[in-house]
Amino acid sequence: MIPYVKSKLKTFVGGIHPREDGKHLTRDTKEIAAPLPKTVYLLMNQHIGAPCKPIVKKGDFVKKGQLVGESQGFVSANIHASISGKVLDVAPWPHPVTGTKSPAVIIERADDDSWIEGADVPFDPDQITPDQIRQLVQSAGIVGLGGATFPTHVKLTPPRDKTIDTVVMNGAECEPYLTCDYRLMLDKPHEIIQGLKLVMKCIGCKNAHIGIEANKEDVYALFKSIVSDEPNIKVDLLEVKYPQGAEHQLIKALLHREFKPKQLPLEVGAIVINVATAFSIYEAVRFKRPLIQRIITVTGDGVEKPQNFLVRLGTPVKSLLEEAMASPHINKIIFGGPMMGIAQSNRDTAVTVKGTGGILALRSAQQFRSRACIRCGRCIEHCPYGLNPGELSIQSEAQEFNLAQENNVMECKECGCCTYICPAKRPIVHLIKFAKVEIAKQTAKKAASAG
């Protein structure tokens, strides 16, 4: 349990070993296509960056793969219709991540489920130029599917003065309960490697490094055999530890590079892509298929039949839960894994977005009484980013946001290790989020008054 004991497998300093793993629930369920939903709700902000502008209106007929939300600006990602049908409305709908209402295109399904013309045509990826790849990725609306939802074409456009020497592929899937990436890696390993190669070609980088957690040895063996005659693509087993799949931690573990505060992966010469993202890049380039579906793990003790589903974007969660035979005793529904996932307030209005990798339905929702910090220092020991979470939480509680900023509160990635480990059960991540929001408000105010 002590984080700095060297294990034989590659890893990083800090992090935690969650008691409950929950992966066994869905490990061996081959993903099945979820029945097509009657209605989909396509939110216009499913990515980090500027929200899309809806370009269809009520009453329009759209086909699967048709562009319905046009990206606004460079850091933004297109949104395409995930089913064919009639646009019922363009109206605000509750967003599962922010909790507030955002504009959404609501589509009612028609019988035919064929692609729009121009999409789903095979395309020879051998002749393709880097710019074409970037262009195809951008128009397909691909974002980081590991959960961060950062537009991928932005990642594929590193600033000129930065050289990227390694593409790191994240096959760690360190969040407990989730197995969607695991199933994808088992079923589509060749496609994933193709996608990875497209990324390498796009940014002109020779080396790749794939990291897989040690609880997925079958995938490791599979990938090893596929790339056995390609010395520039390395595959490595990683220690099972959370958050092994986070960008910084992967680079630390695989490439042994360290970060200065505020440094991004590309500043140490690497970019990280998730396996699901690599797969959708392959689909977008090879078949010109926009991102309209993904694999989602529906799991937890609140469903009788935990499953991996292939789900169209914007599918109501209710129908997925029905499909997995939800028990009536669900107390909590979480989008994503138990560590970083977002609890949902309304089961009836929640819809899937690009970043949804899992839906966790739990019967018990524990409540803790938080106490004052006992200065045990365990949070410091486990914070993978080298912060002092306890101190930050105290500063935020005292509303000393400037002090928290000086102590690099903005560096926190909200992984939740500190809150998990804290014996005083302090709501550290919540306090840190609070401080971050207040600091962002102050900065915006300063910027407004300065200019």
**Residue 5 Cβ, how far from ligand SF4 at the closest point, in Å?**
19
Site for other proteins (CB under 8 A): which residue of 192, 292, 361, 431?
A: 431
Q: Alpha-carbon distance 323 to 338, whole Å?
A: 21
Binding site for ligand SF4 (CB under 6 A): 373-379, 383, 385, 387, 389-390, 393, 412-418, 421-424, 426, 428-429, 432
Q: Give the residue with the Cβ less far from ligand SF4, 32 or 374.
A: 374
In the numeric block, the tokens 């899309």 are attached to 52
Residue 343 binds other proteins (CB under 8 A): yes
Q: Alpha-carbon distance 254 to 269, whole Å?
A: 13
Q: Tell me the β-bridge partners of 272.
A: 168
Site for other proteins (CB under 8 A): which residue of 114, 346, 402, 443?
A: 346
Site string for other proteins, 385-424 (x = CB under 8 A): ------------x---------------------------
375 interface partner picked from other proteins, ligand SF4, none, CB below 5 to 8 A per type: ligand SF4
Residue 342 binds other proteins (CB under 8 A): yes
346 interface partner picked from other proteins, ligand SF4, none, CB below 5 to 8 A per type: other proteins
**Residue 50 Cβ, how far from other proteins at the closest point, in Å?**
20
Residue 433 binds other proteins (CB under 8 A): yes
385 interface partner picked from other proteins, ligand SF4, none, CB below 5 to 8 A per type: ligand SF4
Q: Alpha-carbon distance 196 to 209, whole Å?
A: 10
**Residue 390 Cβ, how far from other proteins at the closest point, in Å?**
15
| Token pair of 39 as six digits | 């209605």
Site for other proteins (CB under 8 A): which residue of 24, 38, 99, 423?
A: 99
User: Near other proteins by CB under 8 A, which window of 132-140, 340-348, 352-360, 408-416?
Assistant: 340-348
CB atoms within 10 A of CB 109: 18
Q: Alpha-carbon distance 66 to 91, whole Å?
A: 19
374 interface partner picked from other proteins, ligand SF4, none, CB below 5 to 8 A per type: ligand SF4
Q: Are β-strands 85-94 and 101-109 bridged in parallel, bridged antiparallel, or unpaired? A: antiparallel
Residue 363 binds other proteins (CB under 8 A): no
* H helical segments located in 95-235: 130-139, 152-155, 180-187, 189-203, 217-226
Q: Give the residue with the Cβ less far from ligand SF4, 32 or 398.
A: 398
CB atoms within 10 A of CB 329: 11
Nearest to 314 by CA among 114, 107, 148, 115: 107
Site string for other proteins, 58-97 (x = CB under 8 A): ------------------------------------xx--
Q: Is there a contact between 359 and 321 (Cβ–Cβ < 8 Å)?
A: yes
Q: Give the residue with the Cβ less far from ligand SF4, 180 or 417.
A: 417
What's the Cα-to-Cα distance from 288 to each of 118, 125, 269, 281, 388, rounded to whole Å?
8, 11, 29, 9, 46
**DSSP per-residue string spanning 373-438:** -----HHHHH-TT---HHHHHHHHHTT-HHHHHHTTGGG-----HHHHH-TT---HHHHHHHHHHH
What's the Cα-to-Cα distance from 269 to each of 234, 256, 257, 362, rounded to whole Å?
16, 12, 9, 41
Which residues of this protein are in contact with other proteins, per CB under 8 A? 94-95, 98-101, 342-346, 367, 397, 427, 430-431, 433-434, 437-438
